[in-house]
Amino acid sequence: MLRAEYRAGALPELAQYGQLLWSLAARDIRVRYKQSLLGVTWAVLLPLSMMLIFTFVFTRAVRATGLATDLPYALYAYSGLVPWTFFSMALTGCVNSLVANRNLVTKVYFPREVFPLACVGSALVDFAIALAVLVGLMAYFAAAGAWTFRPHAALALLPFLILVQMALTTGLGMLLAMANLFYRDVRQVVTVGLQLLLFVSGVVVPIPADGSLAARLLGLNPLVPLLAAYRDCLLYGRWPEGTGLLYATVLSLAVLLGGWAWFRRAAFKFAECI
């Protein structure tokens, strides 16, 4: 019976449970900041504190960032940490979303996709708050004369970049949620993997552009061209490099469609594995 239900159209069925999706996302936000003195301010403090740490390390201790001289490193780091924090928080929530909601998974029928989607949605709220702070930081450095803002039509591409990142994050989130349900050590692997991925995705340290084998291998990570596209639109006032963005877009869509199809195909087994 349950297997047959999951053969129905994915999007129409999911749309019927839109209210449940938003309710779960709102619950995740409330739980995250419940009994917290600073509340949603943590959405800003997390990337901001990391920016300050990396600014000290790479501009004072190491003094080698490989950045253009007219771009403050703090602005470079924060512009990468904002989308990175969205990606990291969403995946961290997704990986445990099925296990954490075992009572609903085993007792009530509805599309199980709502659990990872709710995690992505709640992380998107924090992303929007941190993005607003990034705009304020850009205004500060521009007013201080430390950086020149270059308005460009490429700013209109920002919603598209967010959609691409959401597609990548949602697809990976579904795969990881399913994997963690079958193998519970996946959660620990993801935690370690995200810590390592931070330093090879161009978040706080530029990826070499020398055409070396290491640079080409690092470029296979879709976050590399995606973060570069964010900075091109927001900081450098230019259109992103087309090939890299096209690669990130196609791969993100493939991950979303493949992850979603695999997730739905295996959904009837979820209750048996919890």
Rounded-to-integer distance, Cα 63 and Cα 73, Å: 10
- Res 108: pLDDT: 72
pLDDT recorded at residue 205: 85
Q: Average the pLDDT over 173-181 and give the result.
A: 94
**Helices of type H across the chain:** 2-5, 10-16, 18-33, 42-56, 73-95, 97-100, 102-107, 114-143, 158-182, 186-197, 213-218, 223-231, 242-266, 270-273
pLDDT tens digit string along 32-52? 666 555 556 766 777 778 777
The single residue listed with the structure tokens 């490193």 is: 73
Confidence of residue 126 (pLDDT cuts 50, 70, 90): confident
User: What confidence score (pLDDT) does residue 51 get?
Assistant: 79
Task: Quickly state the pLDDT bin for 27 (edges 50, 70, 90).
Answer: confident
pLDDT for 251: 98
Statement: residue 9 has pLDDT above 70? no
**Residues 195-250: tens digit of each pLDDT:** 999 989 999 888 887 778 888 899 899 999 999 999 999 999 999 999 999 999 99
Q: Locate the domains of the chain by residue range.
A: 2-273
| pLDDT on residue 156 | 96
- Evaluate whether 214 touches 208 at the Cβ level (below 8 Å): yes
Q: Rounded mean pLDDT of 183-189?
A: 90
Output the pTM of the full model.
0.86
Q: Looking at residue 192, what is its pLDDT?
A: 92
Q: Is the pLDDT of residue 57 over 80?
A: no
DSSP 8-class letter at 269: G
Q: How confident is the model at residue 6 (pLDDT cuts 50, 70, 90)?
A: very low
pLDDT at position 40: 60
| 20: CB partners within 8 A, 6+ apart | 110, 114
At 271 the pLDDT is 67
Question: What is the rounded average pLDDT for all residues in the chain?
Answer: 84
With beta carbons less than 8 A apart as the criterion, state whether 229 and 153 touch: no
What band does 2 get if pLDDT is binned at 50, 70 and 90? very low
Work out the pLDDT band at 1, boundaries 50, 70, 90: very low
